[in-house]
Every structure is written in structure tokens, then in C-alpha cells.
Structure 1
Amino acid sequence: MRHYICAVAAALGLTSASALAATEQDCLELRDMGLSGGFVTSARVIEKSEALPAYCEVRATALPSISIEVRLPMEEWNGGLYQAGCGGFCGILGRADAGKSWINAMRPGLERGYATATSDGGHLGLSVVDGSWAYNNPPLERDWGWRSIGETNRVAGAMIEAFYGDPSQKAIFQGCSTGGRMAHMAAQKYPEMFQGIISGAPAMDYTGQVGIMMSWLVQTNTGPDGEQILKPGREKLVGEAVLKQCGTADGVIEDPRQCRPDLASLTCSGEASPQCLTKAELQVLDQWYSGPVNSAGEQLYPGGVPAGSEPFWWLWLIGDGEGGGRLLDAFATGFGAYMAFPQDPGPEWSPADFDFDRDPARLEIMSAVYNADNPDLTAFRDAGGKLIVWHGWADPIVTPFKTVDWYERAAEAAGGEAVLQQNVALFMIPGMDHCGILPGPGGISNASLDPLTPLESWIETGERPASILIAQ
């Protein structure tokens, strides 16, 4: 019926199909829609709320097992698609929309009249740090690596055309962390699919960032007795000393590349105390700030943990002393045991088993499945795509040094930064945590950002954004 109404409206020169209000029946009919390479599992109308318009929620499966959710505005569709990534190892459909943050969420697009879509990355996980789904399962690893991006877009496109009678005229992708990796993968693997892409704190090199860097952080903070050396609570002493050396009056470090903390003055002269650091703790800090090396002293990954990130260490690196935080261990273990190597070592593996001389080479095969750090964006730039990349300088878990390194290599590949800036805008944000999850100095967090508005303007007017911060 909807197709018929749209055709009649077009023939008579009446209101465009996208402006026609949909009915509940239009939504329910999508349950019976034929879908190549997949099937629809449910369709229902979600009534208007204080924050969101009424929309048709459609859930579908793209074979073999990519769960997808598409949200179609019942009224005033703007003609576009807003696709969101997922965080960690994914595995939970629409997890980001359960909260209030815009990170990896469909909400920002729906609020502006976009049809929106996301996926679970191609598998069901017990949590976003559960990697067991990938155990000896290359098809699911491919789905998580790149295929779920294209399949989500394909299914969403089919739903949009069936529901509105018109295809989407514009597509935007947004993601942070793993979602940022997906954003970069979208630009490289599907260069004509999205006119605009927002990539936050991109974990674009999983084999390097999670395989090498995170194993390094775990190993170097583990004593001979298997216990944690740098324990919860110590980050305050360290952070205060680092800020005195390198910080501004606002309590941030503008560029941690220019700060090499010297904490020798905090060395305990006698017994350990809350006001000093043991030699073992100082060694951990030196290795963390320096980053991973092999036995020959060769740097294996750009930089290390950035100075100024200490306030956020409890969540990501060392825990809060009450069983919370320290997500580092779960990510490093899940990736190494089930995802990092062509032959998965399995649940007996731990980051302590990672060999920094031998194992980096063993990661290369899977890097082709997961990694999206290729600096060559020629196809995306030729298609006219616009990419906003943002990263907090105080991100302790996905190092900002990798993002800067990628940007510099991308500029070189493009023939200079001026050429790259026609399509890519990089924003490095002092004092911001990973994806802006925890509030930093002055309360800065992801709630302080709005990359979508300047991206839309860039697409429409060609004017490159100067900032993504919300004006105070």
C-alpha cells in the first residue's frame, strides 16, 4: 500500500514520499518482507517519547548471524541514514542506546529525522569483553572485522526503500573505540557507502593496540608473584606529580608528546608509603609511558600511556580497589585467547604468555581481518567523503599517539596535510578520557562534543569544521 501511495503522490506532483506519515500497518508489514541473505525477525512501532519521535523498530538477521536493528521515523524522515558502530567486542544489539550517551548510539540520528541502524557485530556475547564467540570461528571474525558494516547498511537500505518508497539520499556513520575502528574500516572497505563518517578514539589497529600494547601493560604491571604491582589508589600520587611537571592551570596536559614524566623525586627512601613510589612501581610507570618494545629495544607500537591520563587509570588499567574497573585485563585476555592468532590458543592463554619477540609477526594474518589503519584514503576522498576523527589526549586504553601517527601517514599518502584536510578533520582534545566516558578536568566528556552538526554542514556547504566542541 505504501508503495502505491508514494507512486500516486509522485505522479500527481504531491508531497514527497519521505514527508508522508507512515502507519502502524506499514511498519508491521515489514515482518513479512523478503530479504536477500537474511530475514526479518520483528517489526513494531515505538511510540513517541520525550526525547525521540515515534519510529518503526525493525530487527533482522543477515546470514549467518549478524543481528541488525533499524529505526524508521514514522514522520518527517529527512531522507538519510545514520549508522552507528558498537563498542568492545560488541555482541549486544543496540547496547549504546540503553544509556544517554551518543557514543555508538542511534539516538542522535533519530533525533534529527534520520533512519538509523546498528548491529551486534555478527555474534551474541555475554558482555562487550567476551571474546569466546570467536574461538576457532573465522566467519564470525570476518563479520566482526568488516562484513557487519556493509551488511547493516544493505539491510537498512532495503528497509528504508520498502518503508518509504524511496532510497536513502545520504548516509553517515558514527562510532567510537571499536566503533571508531569500524568507522575507519567503512572509509577504506566501503569508500562510496557513507558521505560522512565520525570516528572517535579509533581502536583502528586491534592486533597492535590490543594484542601488543595491552599485553605489555598487563605484563609490566605483574610481579613475580603474579600480583599487581601498581595498585588502585596510586594513580592520584602519580597524576599530581605529572601535572606539576607538564600541566596547565586548567589541570590538563595540552600535548603529552611533549611531556616525559620524571618521577625519580618520588622514590621511597625507606619503607613504602602513600607519599612515595617503590622502584618496582617506578619501573612499571617508565614502561607504561614508553610503550612496548622487544628484547632488542625496538618500539613495537607508537608511544605508550599518555601523561595526563592518570585520573582514568582506575577504570581501564588498575581497578578501583573494590572489584571495579581494570577492563584492560579482560580485553587483552579475550583478544589473545580467541581472536588474535590464526590458531586460537583458547581459554588457558593469558597476556603473560605474549612473546614480544615472536608474537607480533604471528598477528599479521588477523590484522588483515580487523585492522583499519591503512593511511591511503584515496578512494574515499575521490568519492567526496568527509571524515571527522576525534581523540582524547588523556585516553589511557587506546593510545592517542596511534591516531596522530595514522593522521601524519595519511597526510603523506595524500600528498600533504592541506590535501588531506579537504576530506579529513582531526581533533585532539586535552584532558579527555577514552571516548569521553569519564568526565575530565572542567567536566569535559563526550557530552561536551557535537561532531554531527559540523559534519552535516561540511557535507552540505563544503566548509571544513573548525571545532566539534559545544559552545559554552
Structure 2
Amino acid sequence: MRVPSVVFSISAVLLAAPSLARTDADCSALRNVPFDGGYVTTAQVISKNDALPAYCEVRATALPNISIEVRLPMEDWNGKYYQAGRGGFCGILGRADAGNSWINAMRPGLERGYATATSDSGHHGLSVVDAAWAHHDPHAERDWGWRSIGETNRVANLLIDVLYGTPANQAVFQGCSTGGRMAHMAAQKYPDMFQGIISGAPAMDYTGLVATKMSWLMQANTDPDGNQILRPGKEKLIGDAIAGQCGNEKSVVEDPRLCEPDFSALKCDADAGDQCLTEAELGVLEKWYSGPVNSAGDQLYPGGVPAGSEPFWWLWLTGNTEGGGKLVNAFTTNFGAYMAFADDPGPDWRPSDFDFDTDPAKLATMAKAYNSDSPDLSAFREAGGKMIVWHGWADAIVTPFKTVEWYEQAADKAGGQDVLEQSVALFMIPGVDHCGILKGPAGVSSADIDPMGPLETWLETGVRPETIVQGQ
């Protein structure tokens, strides 16, 4: 812990206007800022480059184990705060900012002059599919579920106040996938914390999605001997058939809810080959497109894999011939072993162990910590918050049908869609992969999507956005 003696002499030096430039010494002095329940570890100036301004990078820990990174512009701070979510099971601080995408990254805020922050959600992981940190650790699960959102905000705003001598006057949260789950959690658990929220491909019902639905996908594609049935190589055959039946002129399925695939013409007659589908492969497709059910035929999760997502299956479902992809297997295996149940079964658990009659009920305890799919946004709306929710219709891992269901329920809860639209704008984008990671048939990816500009306009002028796809 830091000794508080030097403390708020720092603030006295920094009470100049927030827009004035800060010095290297101002940044270094943040190492000595004390706060309850944590401590600063490092503070250093990162020089300006082609994309980003110079900023003070502060690393801090909120106890017990939430690692936080705060980036504070050295000059021309706009007086606002921007917080980024994380993907997968998180565990890697600042991972999103290592690439060029804006998804779950601090970069979009920093480029616009915001003070920005993110965290590792309370643990260190070897990868974003590593969940061993949660094994019999309810504190880590709590921090991942919701507490890291509030703690990141608390620590970042304390540092903002010290460096600039004034608090931020507006706050924005942006996240996709798990970051989208966090965005919804922020609106529900911290309704006054963020005036603007961007939620992409939100994995709101984490237990239903990663335990129930993904176990269904894995079981459907595994034969009695444990072998994968639908292997890499036939995604194009399947996708071409879907595009021919349901696609537009760009081979994009505009609304998969209206597509009822028919693969009867592709059924193998005798010898199986690359240009036909075996009985077993057809069985996989039937289960994938319809979604999980129990032995009574009750739907356990809204919808299955959306028609039109086939070009992206190698990354999420089938893998490729080089051994890459197939991330759904890793996600559901780790989640079921270490996170899904109140009593963790441990590393020997496999998706094949999931019982669709009895296990969904066993997810209830952890659902309370993780899930953010409540349609009640009344507190956030009453606080004047604005929220952009976006989702690709071709998302093969986080079901877009769930997002639509949530929006319809939220509209009912608000008293009608016209009422909800005053606070929430939903954009369902045809042909777009999960968080826009890969380019689809029409060439659209996250690089073509900008929710930040429209959100800023909405907050500043009250004009609700009509699109978030650039060029439209």
C-alpha cells in the first residue's frame, strides 16, 4: 500500500484547466496516489504515435486481484471518460489494444480525447478461453461477473480527478461479446455510472449460451466414438446452398429467421464425397439450426446457429484443415469445468457430460453472478442513459436471436417500442460475423462499423442514430 503523506499536494499542483498539458512529473506523481481497497503500481508517459496522442499510462490493482489500466491524455483531454469491456473469459490486460480493431479497445476513446480505462476482470488467464482461475473461487467469479466494472470506473475516475483537478463530466462504456454482457450489466447494476453505452453481440445469458447452447452444438457434432462428424471443408457447400435459397444478390442472408434451409438435394446417394452431405452430417445441421431442446422437446435457448453464418464456421464451430479455430469447444469445455456450476466439476468435465434435462436448472446460482439479460432498463432510462446495441445476423457463436428476444422484452417492459427507442437503438446487421471479426460475403466487418460517432451525436444533440454502418 502507498503511504498517504504526499497525497493531495498533487491535486493542488494540478488544479489548472483540464485542457492544459500535463508534464511527465505530473504523470509519475500518480504512483503515490492512495485509495481504499487497492494501490497504484506504475505510472509512465507513452509517447505520441501516428494513431494515438501522448498519454499517461497508469496500472493499478483493485483488491483482491483486479488489474486496471488507465490511459490519460497528456493534453487536450475532452473532459470525458471512456471504459472498454473485454472478450471471452478476459484475463489479459489491454489485449484488445494490441491489435487494430476498436472492439473492446481503449483506442476509440483515446483518439477522441477521452480518458480511458479497462481491466483484466479480476484474474490472469493464459488465454481468453482459459477459465481455470475460477475453480472453486467465488470471489474471482464475482469480479468477472460484475464487480470489475464498478471497480475499474472507481479507480479510473479517482486518477482523473487527481491528474486534471476535476472529475469527468460524461462517461461511455463500449464492449462486444463478453464486453457486451458487461455493457448490459453496467446499464442494470450501475444505471447512473455511464451516460452512453455501446453493446455489441452481447453474451447476456452466459450460462444459457456457453453451457447449454454450446454443449448442444458440441454434442450434435460428436459421434458415439467421440469423433467430429461435420469436419472442416463442407462449410462452403452448405453456405452456397443457403445463399442460393435465402441470400440476396451479395449472397447475404438479410434475416435468418425467414430462412428454412433444405439440404435434401445435397444428400449423398451412396458414396460420401466433398460435394454431398451424409445422413450424419445432415443430422448435425438439423440440430445446429434448430437449437437446444430437452427430452420433452422444450426449447432451452432462443434459436440455433443462424443461416448465413456458414462462412465463419471454421473459426467457431468446425475448425480448419490447419487445426485452427473451433473456439466453441474450448469455451464450453472451460466454462462447464470451472465457471458454470456452483460446485465446479473440474478439469475432467466435457461438453458431452451436459444433461439437457437436469443441468440447465443447476446453472441458476452462477446465472445470478454472470447474466445481464434482464429486460428491465427502467433505472438506466430514468437516468437519461442512451444505449446502442448491435449484432451481426451471421454470428455463429453468440446467438443473434437472443438479442432480438431481449429487445422485444425490453420494449414490453418499457411500455412499447416507441418508448424504448428514446433510450435504446438496436442495429441487426446482415452478413456480419461475431463482433465483425471476419469479413463476410459482402466484405463487411468491424472496420466498417462505427457506433461511437452516432452515440456522441445522440448524447450531444438528442438525435437518435439511424445507422452505425459507415457509408449507409
TM over 0.5: yes
Asked if the contact 2:55/2:74 (under 8 Å) is kept, the reply is yes
Matched residues in 2 for 1:209 and 1:79: separation? 38
Q: How does 1:371-410 map to 2 (within 5 A)?
A: 371-410=371-410
Matched residues in 2 for 1:41 and 1:332: separation? 34
- 2:456 aligns with 456
> 1:98: how far off?
0.2
Q: How does 1:203-352 map to 2 (within 5 A)?
A: 203-352=203-352
Matched residues in 2 for 1:112 and 1:152: separation? 20
- Aligned to 2:34, what secondary structure does the other structure show? coil
> 1:36: how far off?
1.2
Asked if the contact 2:70/2:118 (under 8 Å) is kept, the reply is yes
Deviations 1:150-174 (A, max 9, x none): 0000000000001000001000000
Q: How does 1:26-105 map to 2 (within 5 A)?
A: 26-105=26-105
Matched residues in 1 for 2:342 and 2:18: separation? 47
> 1:220: how far off?
0.4
> 1:258: how far off?
0.4
- Where does structure 1 differ by over 4 angstroms across 4 or more consecutive aligned residues? none
> 1:442: how far off?
2.5
Asked if the contact 1:2/1:165 (under 8 Å) is kept, the reply is no
Asked if the contact 2:10/2:29 (under 8 Å) is kept, the reply is no
4, 25, 42: which is aligned to 2:12?
4
Matched residues in 2 for 1:39 and 1:118: separation? 16
> 1:2: how far off?
5.7
Deviations 1:236-292 (A, max 9, x none): 110000111100001100000000101111111111011110000000000000000
Matched residues in 2 for 1:438 and 1:363: separation? 31
Specify the code of the residue in structure 2 equivalent to 1:47. Answer: S
- Aligned to 2:67, what secondary structure does the other structure show? strand
> 1:92: how far off?
0.1
- 1:14 aligns with none
> 1:470: how far off?
1.1
Deviations 1:38-70 (A, max 9, x none): 000100000000110000000000000000000
- Aligned to 1:18, what secondary structure does the other structure show? coil
Asked if the contact 1:2/1:164 (under 8 Å) is kept, the reply is no
Matched residues in 2 for 1:329 and 1:160: separation? 41
Deviations 1:11-41 (A, max 9, x none): xxxxxx2111100000000011112110001
Matched residues in 2 for 1:254 and 1:130: separation? 34
Determine what percentage of the aligned residue pairs are the same residue: 70
Matched residues in 2 for 1:42 and 1:211: separation? 38
Matched residues in 2 for 1:41 and 1:260: separation? 56
Normalised by the length of structure 1, the TM-score is 0.97
- 1:138 aligns with 138
- Aligned to 2:144, what secondary structure does the other structure show? helix
- Aligned to 1:441, what secondary structure does the other structure show? coil
Matched residues in 2 for 1:469 and 1:431: separation? 12
- Stretches of structure 1 that go unaligned for 5 or more consecutive residues are 10-16
Matched residues in 1 for 2:290 and 2:323: separation? 28
> 1:6: how far off?
4.9
> 1:401: how far off?
0.3
- 1:151 aligns with 151
- 2:368 aligns with 368
Matched residues in 2 for 1:214 and 1:400: separation? 14
Asked if the contact 2:60/2:67 (under 8 Å) is kept, the reply is yes
Normalised by the length of structure 2, the TM-score is 0.97
Matched residues in 1 for 2:245 and 2:117: separation? 46
Deviations 1:172-208 (A, max 9, x none): 0000000000000000000000000000000011000
- Stretches of structure 2 that go unaligned for 5 or more consecutive residues are 1-8
> 1:346: how far off?
0.1
Asked if the contact 1:309/1:431 (under 8 Å) is kept, the reply is yes
- 1:120 aligns with 120
Asked if the contact 1:381/1:423 (under 8 Å) is kept, the reply is yes
RMSD: 0.8
Matched residues in 2 for 1:300 and 1:321: separation? 32
